[in-house]
Amino acid sequence: MDTVMPAESGPSNAGYAAGAFAPQDRHSEQLAERGLCHYMTQVATGLGLGMEAAYWDMACTATAYLPLEARLPGVPNCDVALTWDGTHGWAIGVEYGSEPGLLVLGYLGESVLPSPRTVVDFVERALTGEGQVQWSRPQLPTADVSGRLAEYAPPPTT
């Protein structure tokens, strides 16, 4: 099982490191960050959650974290959370002990950026123990994650 270390809480205005997620200009960077926030909001809403404890970060690689209010079968005393990154997509896991980090129990593995409904279905299946999760960390196509995130950005308000 993998362990995922949480990033700092809240939206980040940090610059991007060189790599697959680096947008070409500041406008693209802002669109990708707004898109990630909106995408996370859609997932949280689909799960009946608020964004109070969620966080996302666009520094180096796009990442996100969303704590769940439910428990997983077999580990009822552990807090459950979703993580997402622009390389491996969504994962579900449990927080354990007093150390920061998440013990990943499974990956969605379908796509780096599946629809919010697909993520909600994945969580519902995992929480009921009715669905299969991918145990190994997937290597998913990551082409233009920033551009795909930007598509989730709501139109600017005037």
**For residue 16, what are the domain limits?**
3-150
Q: Does residue 138 lie in a domain region?
A: yes
- Compute the distance between CA of residue 24 and CA of residue 47 in angstroms, rounded to an integer: 33
Number of domains in the chain: 1
Q: What is the pLDDT along the chain (158 residues), one digit of tens a residue?
A: 454 444 333 333 333 333 344 445 667 788 889 999 999 999 999 999 998 888 888 877 788 999 998 888 778 888 899 999 988 899 999 987 777 788 888 899 888 899 999 999 999 988 887 777 777 787 777 778 888 898 999 887 76
The values of phi and psi at residue 41, to 5°, are: -65, -40
pTM of the model: 0.78
Please tell me the predicted confidence (pLDDT) of residue 5: 43
Is 157 a member of any domain? Answer: no
